[in-house]
Amino acid sequence: MTAATPTAPFRIVHTVCSHDCPDSCAVLVTVNEEGRAVKVEGDPSQPVTQGFLCGKVAKYLDRVYAPERILYPLKRKPGVAKGPLVRGREHEAFERVSWDEALYAIAARLKETADRYGPESILPYSYAGTIGVLGFGSMDRRFFHRLGASQLDRTICSEAGGVAWNLVYGKKLGMPTEDFRLAKLVLAWGANIHGNNVHLWPMIEKARRAGARLIVIDPYRTRTAALADWHIAIRPGTDAALALGMMHVIFNEGLEDRDYIAAMTHGATELAERAREYTPERVAAWTGMTASEVERLAREYATTRPAALRMNYGVQRSENGGTAARTIAMLPALTGAWKYRGGGAQLSTSGAFAWNKKALERPDLALASPLGRLARVVNMSTLGLALTELGQGAQSEDGPPVHALFVYNSNPGAVAPNQNAVRRGMMRPDLFTVVHEQFFTDTTDYADYVLPATTFLEHTDIQGAYGHYFVQLSNQAIEPPGEARPNVWLFGQLAKRMGFTEECFRDTPEEMIKQALSISTENGTNGHSTNAGMEHITLEDLKQQGHIPLGFHLDPERRPFLPNTTGTVPTPSGKIEFYSEVLAAQGQDPLPAFVPPFESRWGEGAKNYPLEFLSRKADNYMNSTFANLDGHRKMEARTSGRLEMHRQDAEPRGIADGDPVRIWNDRGSLTLTALVNDSVPEGVVAARLDWAKLQPDQVNVNALTSERLTDLGAGATFYSVLVEVAKPEQRRGWEPSGH
């Protein structure tokens, strides 16, 4: 498991990068005799990590030992208003308190809130600050279930694509990452591989050295796109049309794999019928391609073997992104690409990890709550609505207004859509807000209590991945700085202060890791056991080895994993579904179709705002994480604070490269500096997610994004946004509401 053997007194500890990234790297931490981490490096023995880390995490010790780390529990000083604080001086708004005092006061306030308004008036808000199994969702879920707090529907990232994939295949499984090296064609669809999934790149390079071609479908010219053999700068939100157009050509020219279709799929006849409507000419008009390009793409994809499709979540962050992802997911089933090693598709590998979630989260504890049942569900992608319409968010018609917000593993002040609404909500003087964090963020600025959290070097966890098939142990490498404490500890302690007497609140991390690994058949779909493949994995072995492949991936050379090639798949029909009875029963279209997003050049919204806006992730941050560190900001300097736009959109507006520009719509407005280049096609502008408080207007790109939800999965639509852009003095319309 080790890289270089350390000379005593150094020790090397196996940890796992717990940031929300498909790669889940095995990280070796060198710790010196004083217990200080002096080096982090990728584990060379982990076949996907391959001994290297991305630029963000290679500099991880800058984060762990940053002088700005929150070290102690803090309480807002009386009379200090909520709202953006000056970076580096946030502590002045707070006073230090002991953990005991903080826990006691928070528990008392939660109790009072639950008594007065009902426990559903308390809203936990968390996402993927850590994707460690324990840190992401275990003791926290137990705590909130037992309390009777509202449940959070965690839709902000991948729900549309996940629902879409599962409608087709029943389970999130894909071709192994290592097998991309065997492909002859790699189709990267809405996947920023260099920026977001860099450990796939060496596999693609290997494939290309052996003659493979790389095609990238992305409206933005990413580094991956720039390096591709063919970059298709598709117009945002038109992917379903393109996939249907490809199907049109495939069926027309008899390029489908009939044997595979007969054996493995359901609804091909109906799909062929539907695809007939999507002629290359129609598809070309929507997507911005030519008809012959649509044909060429279809032919190349259907006739090259093996063909590997890397779809990532970029496609599903648009209004009809669920259907887009569902349609794309069908392509390898039409051509039989799954049959060949190095072919098939990958959206996520997460379905392979059969954690015993019931044991971890204990939903049964809801029965012991004052509600006596599972609480209502609030959609995290409509947090603004939930906080301003007082609990009338999309999925919560019933129940009380939200009176307490408990944030951990997330920075909604920066990452949630419709930022101005979120902030109006968080500004409410009657809202009690607790934030468990490593740094002062756009969210701690609104907190009544700020509690110090650990990094993955400072706590123990177990982790799977959504971009490979290894279970990995993250051992605690160093002591937490100051009084920082892990999520599991925090919620165990709060449970104690609330007087919750159940044994499970005293479980140690090791006990919880064993529970996570314990056999559960209850969360299987359609009677399929989901623990298959994990039976051989024990905590003891993980302590020795650090990472262990899942059962079906133990010997890939002799027993390669070829999902969706034999037997049944866990869908209602037992087949890969082109036609969905489930959707039909819900009154929805059972077949894929292209419906233009409201906020796109084809939609109604374009009457008021002509430009499509991509509010993209930064290559050198992790959503909003790392944006506060100077070293990381330097790496991101080229696009930081910039609005990328095409010359043909800039010129008629009198905008030159380097000019300040205002960008606005009905929801908000911000100032950026124009970067006129060919990164985006005409009619599309792009800027990156950053900390709001570091911007001149103290809002970021999410001031422009909407709370409209995706067609499947009720997810966020960060890439279906219409805006107008002008030089500041020419701007008309919306005025920012005073922050």
Residues at the interface with ligand MGD (CB under 6 A): 20-21, 127-130, 135, 156-158, 189-192, 195-196, 217-220, 222, 234, 236-237, 239, 312-315, 317-318, 408-411, 414-415, 436-439, 441, 453-454, 487, 614-619, 621-625, 689, 701-702, 705, 718-719
* Residues 316/160, Cβ–Cβ less than 8 Å: yes
Task: Select 121 or 349, whichever has its Cβ closest to Mo ion.
Answer: 349
User: Which of ligand MGD, ligand SF4, Mo ion, none binds 53 (CB below 5-8 Å, type-dependent)?
Assistant: ligand SF4
Task: Select 419 or 571, whichever has its Cβ closest to ligand MGD.
Answer: 419
User: Which of ligand MGD, Mo ion, ligand SF4, none binds 23 (CB below 5-8 Å, type-dependent)?
Assistant: ligand SF4
Task: Select 615 or 671, whichever has its Cβ closest to Mo ion.
Answer: 615
Of the chain, the end-to-end C-alpha distance in Å amounts to 51
Task: Select 138 or 623, whichever has its Cβ closest to ligand SF4.
Answer: 623
**Region of 150-158, 474-482, 524-532, 559-567 interacting with Mo ion (CB under 5 A):** 150-158
Cβ atoms within 10 A of the Cβ of 527, count?
7
User: Which of Mo ion, ligand SF4, ligand MGD, none binds 616 (CB below 5-8 Å, type-dependent)?
Assistant: ligand MGD
Residue 685, beta-bridge partner list: 613
User: Which of Mo ion, ligand MGD, ligand SF4, none binds 709 (CB below 5-8 Å, type-dependent)?
Assistant: none
Give the footprint of ligand SF4 on residues 443-502 (CB under 6 A).
none
Per-residue x/- mask for ligand SF4, residues 615 to 634, rule CB under 6 A? -------x------------
Task: Select 225 or 264, whichever has its Cβ closest to ligand MGD.
Answer: 225
Residue nearest to Mo ion (CB): 157
Chain Cα centroid distance, residue 252 = 37
Task: Select 128 or 375, whichever has its Cβ closest to ligand MGD.
Answer: 128
Q: Is 691 helix (H, G, I), strand (E, B) or coil?
A: coil
Out of 14, 41, 46, 56, which residue is the one contacting ligand SF4 (CB under 6 A)? 56
Q: How far is the CB of 308 from ligand SF4 (least distance, A)?
A: 20
Q: How far is the CB of 520 from ligand MGD (least distance, A)?
A: 24
Considering the rule CB under 6 A, would residue 57 count as an interface residue with ligand SF4?
Answer: yes
Q: How far is the CB of 20 from Mo ion (least distance, A)?
A: 5
User: Which of ligand SF4, ligand MGD, Mo ion, none binds 698 (CB below 5-8 Å, type-dependent)?
Assistant: none
CA angle 563, 174, 231 (to 5 degrees): 130
* Residues 137/125, Cβ–Cβ less than 8 Å: no
Out of 12, 14, 15, 19, which residue is the one contacting ligand SF4 (CB under 6 A)? 19
* Residues 241/594, Cβ–Cβ less than 8 Å: yes
Q: Which residues contact 623 (CB under 8 A, 6 or more apart)?
A: 20, 411, 414, 415, 617, 689
Q: How far is the CB of 242 from Mo ion (least distance, A)?
A: 23
**Region of 49-57, 384-392, 592-600, 698-706 interacting with ligand SF4 (CB under 6 A):** 49-57
Q: How far is the CB of 366 from ligand MGD (least distance, A)?
A: 23
Distance between CA atoms of 307 and 184, rounded to whole angstroms?
A: 6
Q: C-alpha distances in angstroms, 216 versus 23, 86, 222, 527?
A: 20, 41, 9, 38
Closest Cα to residue 224, out of 510, 619, 504, 671?
Answer: 619
User: Which of ligand MGD, ligand SF4, Mo ion, none binds 410 (CB below 5-8 Å, type-dependent)?
Assistant: ligand MGD
CA within 13 Å, CB half, 710: 36
- Tell which phi-psi region holds residue 267, choosing left (phi > 0), alpha (psi between -120 and 50) or beta: left
Q: How far is the CB of 29 from ligand MGD (least distance, A)?
A: 16
Distance between CA atoms of 287 and 282, rounded to whole angstroms?
A: 9
Q: What is the DSSP string of 546-592?
A: SEEE-GGGS-TTTS---TTSSS--SSTTSSEESS-HHHHHTTS-SS-
Task: Select 196 or 520, whichever has its Cβ closest to ligand MGD.
Answer: 196
User: Which of ligand MGD, ligand SF4, Mo ion, none binds 192 (CB below 5-8 Å, type-dependent)?
Assistant: ligand MGD
Q: What is the DSSP string of 257-318?
A: -HHHHHHHEE-HHHHHHHHTT--HHHHHHHHT--HHHHHHHHHHHHHSSSEEEEE-GGGGSS
User: Which of ligand MGD, ligand SF4, Mo ion, none binds 135 (CB below 5-8 Å, type-dependent)?
Assistant: ligand MGD
Distance between CA atoms of 213 and 192, rounded to whole angstroms?
A: 17
Q: Reading across the β-sheet that carries 94-96, which strands appear in turn?
A: 94-96, 74-76, 449-452, 432-437, 404-408, 122-126
User: Which of ligand MGD, Mo ion, ligand SF4, none binds 196 (CB below 5-8 Å, type-dependent)?
Assistant: ligand MGD
Kindly compute the dihedral angle of the four CA atoms of residues 504, 506, 510, 512, in this order, to the nearest 10 degrees. 20
Q: Which residues contact 17 (CB under 8 A, 6 or more apart)?
A: 23, 24, 25, 27, 53, 57, 456
**Region of 19-27, 75-83, 206-214, 658-666 interacting with ligand SF4 (CB under 6 A):** 19-27
Q: How far is the CB of 341 from ligand MGD (least distance, A)?
A: 24
Q: How far is the CB of 345 from ligand MGD (least distance, A)?
A: 14
Considering the rule CB under 6 A, would residue 53 count as an interface residue with ligand SF4?
Answer: yes
Out of 12, 14, 24, 233, which residue is the one contacting ligand SF4 (CB under 6 A)? 24
Phi, psi torsion values for 12, nearest 5 degrees: -115, 130
Phi, psi torsion values for 405, nearest 5 degrees: -125, 125
Cβ atoms within 10 A of the Cβ of 574, count?
14
Tokens of 159: 């729900």
Q: What is the DSSP string of 53-80?
A: --HHHHTHHHHHT-TT---S-EEEPTTP
Helix (H) or strand (E) holding 378: strand 377-379
Per-residue x/- mask for Mo ion, residues 154 to 173, rule CB under 5 A? ---x----------------
Q: How far is the CB of 605 from ligand SF4 (least distance, A)?
A: 34
User: Which of ligand MGD, Mo ion, ligand SF4, none binds 570 (CB below 5-8 Å, type-dependent)?
Assistant: none
Number of residues located near Mo ion, criterion CB under 5 A = 1
Q: How far is the CB of 54 from ligand SF4 (least distance, A)?
A: 3
Q: How far is the CB of 630 from ligand MGD (least distance, A)?
A: 16
The 3-state DSSP composition of the chain as helix, strand, coil percent (nearest 5) reads 35, 15, 45
| Strand ranges in 432-582 using DSSP code E only, listed in sequence order | 432-437, 449-452, 461-463, 470-474, 547-549, 576-577
Q: Which residue, chain included where needed, has tokens 């084809």?
A: 602
CA angle 452, 409, 545 (to 5 degrees): 95
Q: How far is the CB of 86 from Mo ion (least distance, A)?
A: 29
Q: How far is the CB of 199 from Mo ion (least distance, A)?
A: 17
**Region of 21-29, 343-351, 482-490, 632-640 interacting with ligand SF4 (CB under 6 A):** 21-29
Task: Select 315 or 431, whichever has its Cβ closest to ligand MGD.
Answer: 315
Considering the rule CB under 6 A, would residue 25 count as an interface residue with ligand SF4?
Answer: yes
Residue nearest to ligand MGD (CB): 314
Q: How far is the CB of 680 from ligand MGD (least distance, A)?
A: 9
Helix (H) or strand (E) holding 663: strand 660-665
Q: How far is the CB of 151 from ligand SF4 (least distance, A)?
A: 28
Task: Select 128 or 663, whichever has its Cβ closest to ligand SF4.
Answer: 128
Distance between CA atoms of 380 and 395, rounded to whole angstroms?
A: 10
Q: How far is the CB of 337 from ligand MGD (least distance, A)?
A: 18
| Contacting positions for Mo ion (CB under 5 A) | 157
**Binding region for ligand SF4 (CB under 6 A):** 17, 19, 21, 23-25, 53-54, 56-57, 198-199, 622
